[in-house]
Amino acid sequence: MIENLKQIMLTNEKIFSEYACKSEKGIKLNEEKEDIRPVFFRDIDKIIHSQAYTRYIDKTQVYAFIENDHITHRVLHVQLVAKEARTIGRALGLNEDLIEAIALGHDVGHTPFGHAGERFLNNIAKREKIGYFCHNAQSVKTLKDLEKLNITVQTLDGILAHNGEILLNKYETSPNKTKEQFLEEVEKVFKEEGYSKKIKPMTLEGSVVRLSDIIAYIGRDIEDAIIVGTIKREEIPEEITKVLGNTNAQIVNTLIMDVIENSINKPYLQFSKEVFESLIRLKTWNYEHIYTSKEATKNLDILEKAFYDLFEYYLKKLDNRKDIEISEEMSNSDKLLFSFMNNKTEEYKKNTDIRRIVIDYISGQTDKFFLKECEMHLKYFKI
């Protein structure tokens, strides 16, 4: 009975493209009991039930200190990536389960306050001479080590390689990459500056998510910028809009259709020359008019000092690696900090630099929790 159900769940894989990653190829880091779910389908369930996924609900996408219920937060962004990536994947005959797992998990390691927070933690890591911080590698670490969810190598590899800030005209893969090579890449991202830019995913599904990351945010960020008054729609250069459109719906449709038409029956993904060049122009325009605007960079000077000072505060609290008995007299803040340490494996506590442990703790925080911690422990902090 169980075996029959498993086969039913895999029925659609019979019509996959030759370049798709079938579930039977899924590589687990650790053995576990199977059920009727294909391995990548199971990854999705593990990710959406993780604590890190729950914290997406209050993590900045672009605008951190804007009171508006209609602007994008990280939780919506990953859903948009998943939907748009699945559209491309279905048209190309790829494994939608693997695509969805990568898409939903790709930002679980993102910091509070988006890329600004990532930059601050990376600067702290460099100052302390303990390597670097990249949210894509932190996403892998969160799922693999901090929550120990036994996600497949293909899903984790797609998460590691997603890097939506890098725009390519041709998205190629490393199909012969092994589990050992993947684990080596994870370590190198933390130890070698800029190494994440060199990584190619082992599956075409990973490339689909990498490309869909920019499709999901490039037009959506324009809509958010218009809502908060950063730009006006008519300000977008006509040389861009005549190719891509001037609304998120038009931009998404143009990009998805173009990449599908130029990637059918190929072991790589590609845009047409005209669309790719317009996309580069739009990305540059967004950086100049949206991501560096006063609305998007509001309070960053105060925030940067807060990241450094909160790091120092936690470091003093955790100067002893031993488990700390939690008592009722402790503040909720201390209970959460010590629980984070106490609930980790002995291997993690023994082999992880205490400064990296603090970075792991801060990176997992939501915007609101970070601000509450600042208000409690950094008395100067006011926003």
Q: What confidence score (pLDDT) does residue 4 get?
A: 63
The pair of structure tokens assigned to 75 is 């939780």
* Tens of pLDDT, residues 181-199: 999 999 999 999 999 999 9
Q: What b/e string do you get for 119-137 counting C-beta neighbours within 10 Å, with b at 16 or more?
A: bbbbebbeeeebbbbbbbb
Q: In angstroms, how far is CA 212 from the centroid of its own chain? A: 12
Supply angle C-alpha 256, 91, 23, rounded to 5: 120
Asked if the model's pLDDT at residue 96 lies above 90, the reply is yes
pLDDT at 109 over 70: yes
Is 37-291 assigned to CATH 1.10.490.10?
Answer: no
Taking the model in full, what pTM does it have?
A: 0.95
Residue 5 has pLDDT above 70, yes or no: no
| pLDDT band, very low/low/confident/very high, at 6 (cuts 50, 70, 90) | low
- Give me the count of residues in the chain: 383
Give the pLDDT score at 167: 86
Residue with tokens 């508006």: 68
Asked whether 189 and 132 are in contact (CB, 8 A), the reply is yes
Q: pLDDT band at 78, cuts 50/70/90?
A: very high
* pLDDT at residue 54 is higher than 90: yes
Asked whether 161 and 198 are in contact (CB, 8 A), the reply is no
Instruction: Name the residue among 58, 66, 121 with its Cα closest to residue 296.
Output: 66
pLDDT tens string 140-157: 999 999 999 999 999 999
Domain boundaries, the chain: 37-291, 300-377
Q: In the structure, what pLDDT confidence band is assigned to residue 171 with cuts at 50, 70 and 90? A: very high
pLDDT value at 341 more than 90: no
Query: Residue 321: is its pLDDT beyond 70?
Result: no
pLDDT at 42 over 60: yes
At 72, is the pLDDT very low, low, confident or very high (cuts 50, 70, 90)?
A: confident
CA distance 153 to 155: 5
DSSP 191-249: HSTTGGGG---SSHHHHHHHHHHHHHHHTHHHHHHHHHTS--GGGS-HHHHHHH-SSHH
Residue-wise pLDDT for 236-257, tens only, equals 999 999 999 999 999 999 999 9
pLDDT at 85: 98
Between CA 332 and CA 327 the distance in angstroms is 10
Q: Hey, CA dihedral for 40, 42, 48, 50, is it positive or negative?
A: negative
Average pLDDT, the chain: 92
Q: Which of 140-149, 163-172, 187-196, 200-209 has the lowest mean pLDDT?
A: 163-172
At 257-310, the pLDDT tens digits run 999 999 999 999 999 999 999 999 999 999 999 999 998 888 899 999 999 999
Mean pLDDT for 311-335 is 82
> Is residue 1 scored above 60 in pLDDT?
no
Nearest residue to 208 (alpha-carbon basis) of 6, 4, 20, 3: 20
Rounded Cα distance, 305 and 336, in Å: 22
Cβ atoms of 161 and 200 closer than 8 Å: yes
How high is the pLDDT of residue 68?
77
Using the predicted structure, report yes or no on whether residue 92 has a pLDDT greater than 70: yes
Tokens describing residue 68: 């508006």
